[in-house]
Structure 1
Amino acid sequence: MPPSPTPTPHPMSIAGQRAASYPGSEIVIERELTAAYNHRRYYASYLSEGYKIYGLLTVPSDEMPPGGWPAIVFNHGYIPPDVYRTTERYVAYVNRLAQSGYIVFRIDYRGHDQSEGEAKGAYGDPGYLTDVLNAVAALQRFPDANPDKIGMWGHSMGGYLTLRAMVVSDQVKAGVIWAGVVASYPDMLYNWRHNDFARIPTPSSGARRWRDLWLETYGTPDENPEFWASVSANSYLADLSGPVQLHHGTADTDVPVAFSEGLYQQALAAGQNVELYTYEGDDHNLSGYFSLAMNRTIEFYDRYLK
């Protein structure tokens, strides 16, 4: 009997995403924007699966350290792709990181603003993570960046992408997640009252949401725990590529603080270097404790990337 062929892993499984290639490309400066205090700002692009992906790139204007600047891939949270604009939102976040001596690449996922490709959402399609990991590779080619000191920051959906990137690739040396969607898929299915999935656009008119398709195809987590574990980054925390710092407001009505608390306990159990800060009564954007959370974020990056 000939040997049975090895089954192709599901494209959203961690094994499937590890098997994919993320070569990145050279970063192209499309145009220079108005400079800010101690850093230059650019509208830049790179390639991801042949798509031209744009982003806001900041580069410190001080004397470059030996080996290049540490760099951060900045993963924004869910914003409707048709209203998303590269230079809007998260301005204060990017500025604080840039002022602290980091290259920051706040990327536009595919289908956002001028980025090519179709925006299919993060939770049921591998495209956004592909864009994130190609951004890491692109920064490693960037002359001013230190290729061995690449970190990642993520908010909400961007936190999901950050955690996922850190178990798929070993190139992200430190990650910070604010109000992240960092629960396992079963928890996301059954313990997320906000039901953010409803806001994710479907690939074509009338198409079934991926969640419904997965439940119909693979069964529930009780019926098929192997599948649901295979697509959950939480199943692979022993492989985290670096330390992780978590921030979450206790009054967050978009993403439950229990997601970050659960990940913290799971990462500790996996023997990982993880920190958790919760902010009493604060919201999804940590509006009440922004300065404190950002100071902790920068101190964390300084500790592990500088």
Structure 2
Amino acid sequence: MTKKPLIEVKSLQKQFPVYGPFGKLGGVKQTVHAVKDVSLTLYEGETYGLVGESGSGKSTTGRTILGLTPATAGEVLYEGKDLVKLSKSEMRKFRKELQLVFQDPFSSLNPRKRIGQTLEEPLIIHGLGDKEERIEKVFRILDIVGLQKEHYYRYPHEFSGGQRQRLSIARALIMNPKVMICDEPVSALDVSIQSQILNILKALQREMQLTMLFITHDISVVRYISHRIGIMYLGTIVEEACTDDLFAETLHPYTKALFSAVPTGKKQERIVLKGEIPSPLNPPSGCVFHTRCPFATERCRQEVPALREIRPQHKVACHYAEEEKQWSN
């Protein structure tokens, strides 16, 4: 059975202007290249994990896909409709189907509003149901994420970190979305609470046939929850594969270094990359990874590698991915 593409991201770019001491009056001094030519596909009912170091552009990619941050260039096709070209009023019609779970649930919850008011707000904005129907729906959603009716009347500061993240998930689910983008939803939680949130997300996905983009820097988390994984470095995707295939054999030098840092209980060589991630203000020419890659050649410094399929459903952006020396220890 062929999987149906729900969201197709094509050559997505996002740049942020950097102004001088006089602000916009002085003109643009530099440009931050946050997202550079990202292409990926989210299939119906799957979880796509987006992994990378801090500053790699993962969160910006997620927010740009949802239109919360306007794209500089590229396409975001949702069921064939390009979201990038829509006005704010046109985009509003799709908000019910495209939801975001924020990294910090406390800062995303209004401290002056009771939880019931916060969860009802999107229903009111979209004119869904009367007062009794909205309250009943909020009660159902609270039950789904493992909370109780009495929590309807409480304020955000009365909840623990794990409970606030459940509330953030509840707010995203209240509109019955088709797509949910989770931006580091468990990074600030204890390990035991992380597992509870991840299990809730997996169960909800099965029951509601949710399509999820799961953004994280935690390799073990993304392995547990994702069907496919994209590895991001300095605003570009350098490797993409099904989860089992990627963990069976990595083909990009950056992915191999990233995975070598994860404790497995087995004897393995730790690959330590030299240098720091280049600044997105002045990204390197050619392959973005060539400044830290032990296998870089002159071609890598001058020519940008395309993200190409080396093996079935396994894509790599590396000129020498087929050569054994790239992945042999």
On whether the aligned pair clears a TM of 0.5, the verdict is: no
Larger-gyration structure (1/2): 2
* TM-score (norm: length of structure 2): 0.28
Greater strand content: 2
Report which structure shows greater RCO (CA 8 Å, sep ≥6). 2
* TM-score (norm: length of structure 1): 0.30
